[in-house]
Chains A and B, each alone.
Chain A
């Protein structure tokens, strides 16, 4: 896809192949996640190298691991693009080339999500920080990753720098627009917000929203301990908004306080069923969802002036 065509077609990428990359004599680029594959596909459109996605397109990055054949093939790649920030957990224990791996999120300020402390061996107690890897939720962070991808691709043999620059420029424009749309859609003043999974931290940081992660399964009503946390959070302000990665079940929604507004956002990790991955297009649904908070709030405000109360 040429850069111009990408702009005209709304930058919808084709479904990434999930086949194990075969070592070839030509230049090969392997992406470790759908989001980075999308960047490489957009920026490297029309370039003479083979781009492949290592994990299956619907794989869970937290549990998926490549088999030995896939690792061997990946070791032979000219460039391995990863999201980084701990997203591809399999990388921690996989033998990859030392100098051909680019962690595109290295330029994004890390977002700590918590610390675990334990002890073993002779070192005494120590802590591990958890970092939110969902950097692509923030358009500016995703843009930083795009720049890293562009820099890596530009170093490959046979790279057409003019085309790469043009594609990056188009992508940055698009992400800039998405950022503006999200900023405009963000509720002001922000209501208490929580998420069922720590996927929206980078989005919240970009939009100035404080999003608490409550670790709730969308299909299973929370236990008593979690319910206590939910009640505490819901009581912290008017019209609390719960962000879901997937549509919660009716039982879960019924279990939560009635004042909670439920909002399902696309974590932008995978393409929609039956469609190719399209970051900007999928992110626009999030823009619309965020706008709906303000729309819900307006009637609520006017209703409160009359009778008070909230709803879902």
Chain B
């Protein structure tokens, strides 16, 4: 057998003879190598997802307040954190070169955000119903692909809106939403939401409602419809077609609330004109989500860079520890290696054996790092895709 063959065989036997040590050292090396790669991969994925959604959401208009809250509420349907602005704002900003979509994101149904909007939203985002159709009247909803899958929703199913304040018997009544369609999968936050017309969202607010349409089986024995409504008790709102005719808005349409308006300009010039108009208006502001996300990513990049430095230090320390372990191992086997030399082994056999042993551990560590990064990346991709 050649010198390298002898050295390799001896190195392998040494590694196999101490499997715990070999595995621990290769795992330590794998983590030291893999963590920076995993950090870079996760950061790149998050950046890609955020930037894609931001690019697809050119301008968000809202009431003065936190920029991040407004942008992320409109992009990813996070309820709360934004002040309402009136419907009149949307009508005032309407212009031929811009598609404006109202957003009312306040309520949830079975934990999914209920996004009150208008047909313009579906047009601008090219959202189409894979099954069924888009909402036509108050009480109807179309479910995002993931929202439907997770809840087992099908066309024709109904879903009760979530009560915000269970202890408040005089609070707004829940609304039964009828699923009229399931949207195609998009890989965006749209997959996780339930979409209704903005009027349904106002019905959830209690701003749009009818009166006296309870069925006989919905009242307690000995009570009447008048009793039921007069009690102020929470009752399911009735959105059957024959009841919708009596629905009315509290206040004028112009003053009904929106949480945001998403603007989809047809050209950069239309966007700039819109932004100019908003800049000179009182009580509203416009944010460009791509810039908001860039700001966020700049912070994220600094965190990422700091983390990489930290991981570099940890990795260096790990390498040093592995080197110490290998040196200790070499010292522990000093008598055996001296015996080999006395028996006439080639002078390079022992150094080469140690080199191959170290190289094998590093190779195993790299393989471990590759496997870990691939598995984590796949898990991240699944976690970040709605």
A: residues with CB less than 8 A from B are 62-63, 65-66, 68, 71-72, 75, 89-90, 92-99, 118, 120-123, 126, 128, 155
Contacts and interface: CB of A to CB of B under 8 A. Distances in A.
A128 B136 contact: no
Contacts of B249: 92
A122 B168 contact: yes
A38 to B, nearest CB: 24
A104 to B, nearest CB: 14
A71 B232 contact: no
Contacts of A71: 136-137
Nearest to B239: A93
Contacts of A93: 137-138, 199, 208, 239, 244, 247
B152 interface: no
Contacts of B99: 99
Given A65-B245, A93-B208, A118-B211, A98 B100 contact: yes
Contacts of B135: 95
A96 B241 contact: no
A68 B136 contact: yes
A75 B134 CA distance: 10
Nearest to B139: A93
Given A97-B118, A155-B96, A72 B133 contact: yes
B172 interface: yes
Given A121-B170, A126-B250, A128-B248, A65 B133 contact: no
A212 to B, nearest CB: 24
B120 A97 contact: yes
Q: Which 9 residue pairs spanning A and B have beta carbons closest together?
A: A95-B197, A71-B136, A98-B118, A93-B138, A68-B136, A122-B170, A75-B119, A93-B244, A99-B94
B79 to A, nearest CB: 20
Contacts of A97: 118-120
19 contacts: A63-B245, A68-B137, A71-B136, A72-B133, A75-B119, A90-B244, A92-B249, A93-B208, A93-B247, A97-B119, A98-B119, A99-B90, A99-B118, A121-B171, A121-B173, A122-B168, A122-B172, A123-B206, A128-B248
A92 B119 contact: no
A98 B198 contact: yes
A43 B247 CA distance: 33
Contact of B232 (A62, A94, A96, A121): A121
Interface string B350-383: 0000000000000000000000000000000000
Contacts of A66: 136
Interface string B265-306: 000000000000000000000000000000000000000000
Contacts of A118: 211
Contacts of B208: 92-93
Interface in B186-239: 197-199, 206, 208-209, 211, 229-230, 232, 239
Nearest to B199: A93
A65 B244 contact: yes
A110 to B, nearest CB: 10
Interface in B113-166: 118-120, 133-138, 140
A95 B94 contact: no
B119 to A, nearest CB: 4
Contacts of B209: 120
A106 to B, nearest CB: 9
Interface in B99-120: 99-102, 118-120
Contact of A92 (B118, B198, B230, B247): B247
A95 B211 contact: no
Contacts of B170: 121-122
A99 to B, nearest CB: 4
Given A120-B211, A121-B232, A96 B247 contact: no
Contacts of A96: 118-119
A97 B264 CA distance: 14
B232 A120 contact: yes
Given A121-B171, A121-B206, A95 B245 contact: no
Contacts of A92: 199, 208, 247-249
Given A89-B245, A95-B136, A99-B90, 6 more contacts: A92-B247, A94-B138, A97-B119, A99-B94, A99-B100, A122-B171
Contacts of B230: 120
A94 B211 contact: no
Contacts of A128: 248, 250
B47 to A, nearest CB: 32
The residue among A62, A90, A98, A118 with the most chain B CB atoms within 10 A of its own CB is A98
Contacts of B180: 68
Nearest to A62: B245
A147 to B, nearest CB: 17
Nearest to B173: A121
Nearest to B121: A98
